[in-house]
Amino acid sequence: MSDTPELRLAGARDASACAAIYAPAILERSTSFEYQVPSTEEMARRIAAVARFFPWLVAERGAR
């Protein structure tokens, strides 16, 4: 396994991890105007909506 992360287009399978990564920006910092962490389903909808026009990238190392 390489230490170099792989960049790829995000998909619905990444929604849970993306929501978890985004959660501290909502709950612990003032870097978001949102008050609640989006559900996995909501994050999947956001990924799909953005991906229609712009790339939503994720970095993956191994299975993380």
Per residue in 11-51, pLDDT (tens digit) is 999 999 999 999 999 999 988 999 999 999 999 999 999 99
Contact indicator for 55, 9 with CB cutoff of 8 Å = yes
Cα 34 to Cα 28, 38, 58: the distances in Å are 12, 9, 21
Contact indicator for 60, 40 with CB cutoff of 8 Å = no
- Quick count: other Cβ atoms within 10 Å of Cβ 19? 19
Per residue in 50-63, pLDDT (tens digit) is 999 999 999 999 87
Cα 23 to Cα 1, 14, 34, 38: the distances in Å are 28, 14, 10, 8
